[in-house]
Amino acid sequence: MLGRLEGKVAIVTGAGSGFGFGIAKKFAGEGAKVIIAELSQECGEKAATEISGLFVRTDVTKRESWQSLLDITLKTYGKLDIIINNAGATYHNKPTAEVTDDDFELCIKVNVKSVYLSSSVVVPYFVRTNRPGCFIQVSSTAALRPRPGLTWYNASKAAVSNASKTMAVEYGAKQIRFNCVCPVVGSTGMTHLFLGKPDTEENRAGFVSTVPLGRPSTPADVANACAYLASDEAAFITGVNLEVNGTSYCTVIRLTDPGNQVDGGRCV
């Protein structure tokens, strides 16, 4: 039986770990050729070996990196169909007045500039070749229902969700689709930063108590949503923010509950 992404070529950024690796594995399992575009040499090589993909060392905040990623992809596979902008970064959850210029710039560069550069470099390729391109950005529930202590991470994800909707309208006539998935907290390399404390079941309990389905998100949850949006089954879906969050709601309305007080700007 053919996979749902058979014959497609997909770039997944930040695919050396966490959600990105889950997406890369799912896409390879569905028949896609997968390019692991990752900053970490070690994680990228390991991920590529595991799914028989191609590792291209990439810094998503650099234009030259995007250009060489596209060039290598076209040289290796002859075409490109799907971009998953998954690489992301945040600072440690803290009161907003204590955020540094470096914290702010990290979020804007890795989360927002990467999406800008991907569209700047790859959209002209789709237009030139008349291909129905597909962009999927890993945004966040934070874009839609922000929680305290992560103002500029939340705002960077809101920018990603808004830019994707705008580009969906602008490039609809060219058959280039832009969608976002918006996960709630999972258990990955970034989770301790979101929580502002170690990623343990106990420390995740405050977040999880606001998820009606009663658990954090997993890489498989995020990957399944991306696989649908990247497949031909979603050919008429563009400009959406698909929430992958067990219908999570914001903790702000629970701050008065026992065990969910605010301490120095973060939920405890």
Ligand X SMILES: NC(=O)c1ccc[n+]([C@@H]2O[C@H](COP(=O)([O-])OP(=O)(O)OC[C@H]3O[C@@H](n4cnc5c(N)ncnc54)[C@H](O)[C@@H]3O)[C@@H](O)[C@H]2O)c1
Q: Considering beta carbons, is residue 2 or 141 the nearer one to ligand X?
A: 141
- C-alpha radius of gyration, the chain, whole number: 18
Q: Considering beta carbons, is residue 65 or 238 the nearer one to ligand X?
A: 65
Q: What is the rounded CA–CA span in Å between residue 118 and residue 61?
A: 9
Q: CB of residue 224 vs ligand X: minimum separation in angstroms?
A: 15
Q: For residues 35, 41, 46 and 51, what is the CA-based torsion angle, rounded to 10 degrees?
A: 0
- Residue 54 token pair: 């191609």
Q: Binding residue for ligand X (CB under 6 A) from 133, 146, 183, 206?
A: 183
Piece in contact with ligand X (CB under 6 A), picked from 161-169, 178-186, 223-231, 260-268:
178-186
Residue 152 within binding range of ligand X, rule CB under 6 A: no
Q: Which CB contacts under 8 angstroms, 24+ apart, belong to 51-60?
A: 51/24, 51/25, 52/28, 53/15, 53/24, 53/28, 58/13, 60/13, 60/14, 60/85, 60/87, 60/110, 60/113, 60/114, 60/117, 60/118
Residue 115 within binding range of ligand X, rule CB under 6 A: no
Residue 93 within binding range of ligand X, rule CB under 6 A: no
Q: Which residue has the tokens 């169909």?
A: 81
- List 91, 116, 153, 171, catalytic entry: 153
Instruction: For Cα atoms 200, 87, 179, give the angle at the middle one, nearest 5 degrees.
Output: 105
Piece in contact with ligand X (CB under 6 A), picked from 34-42, 118-126, 162-170, 228-236:
34-42
Residue 243 within binding range of ligand X, rule CB under 6 A: no
184 and 245 Cβ atoms separated by less than 8 Å: yes
Piece in contact with ligand X (CB under 6 A), picked from 57-65, 127-135, 223-231, 235-243:
57-65
Residue 221 within binding range of ligand X, rule CB under 6 A: no
Residue 267, number of CB atoms within 10 A of its CB: 23
Q: Which helix (H) or strand (E) holds 105?
A: helix 101-107
Residue 19 within binding range of ligand X, rule CB under 6 A: yes
Residue 86 within binding range of ligand X, rule CB under 6 A: yes
Q: Considering beta carbons, is residue 5 or 190 the nearer one to ligand X?
A: 190
Residue 149 within binding range of ligand X, rule CB under 6 A: no
Residue 14 within binding range of ligand X, rule CB under 6 A: yes
Residue 196 within binding range of ligand X, rule CB under 6 A: no
- Beta carbons within 8 Å of 96's beta carbon, 6+ residues apart: 149, 151, 152, 265
153 included as an active-site residue? yes
State the residues that interact with ligand X by CB under 6 A: 13-14, 16-20, 38-40, 43, 58-61, 86-89, 110, 138, 140, 183, 185-186, 188-191, 194
Provide the annotated active-site residues: 153
